[in-house]
Structure 1
């Protein structure tokens, strides 16, 4: 009985320590960057949303938990504090990881299809719909003319 009470008390302590440590784990995952001005912090937030994680494929470095994204966030914060422009920061990462790292790649020969592709698909779809509607209209006109001719013959 005494052993059981001691065991219960010890188990309760373990659970209490475990529950108290959970919030600390959440805090450990948050990166904290200090900036001189609110404008620098706003630029940091904007840039980390604009840059894509090379590992995660379709997540910004702000949203990604990958180690490379953490390194990119730290480098972005450092460059902003050093006074680099947004363009210089983006170009720095494009130089290292290619155009894929930016959600807004430059308009050049290698990204031509990326920029013009949606418009080409939309245009081709519109042309296809127009042609199908014209064929359906022409077929309906032929059926109507054939029905009129058949009525004339029957009278």
Structure 2
């Protein structure tokens, strides 16, 4: 009878391991749900009736590296964080989202772009991908995918094409 008393404690210890991980959900669903704005050229906009821009192509590249479809979901910029917190989106690609905005329920990937501030060419807030906290396997996989895209030069190519210069490296590294 004594082992039965230990079962609740064992379940309590194992419950974090049983929690669903976002990476598993993405692979099971077969798509990466990406929130983005369509009114922010050159990041996201409509061209000839289709979504285009840096964020759109980056989202497709991320999904392709995860071997899933890119489910590009257009959202108003002020509703993107709410959608991430609620789980409506897996990630968001929006240059205006800064890590300080989502510290309560979100975490961020490693930076993928390092834009310059308008004044004097100084560095602006690096761009990173927000996602819900508590998904370490997904965050780590996302960081590995971003590192691969950077090492293959694909981030540089995307930023040169859409943003007019290579912003894939920190300003000190790109000199």
What TM-score does the superposition give when structure 2 sets the normalisation length? 0.26
Per residue, is there more strand in 1 or in 2? 2
Higher RCO (CA 8 Å, separation ≥ 6 residues): 2
Q: Which has the higher helix share?
A: 1
TM-score when scaled to structure 1?
0.28
Q: Tell which structure's C-alpha radius of gyration is larger.
A: 1
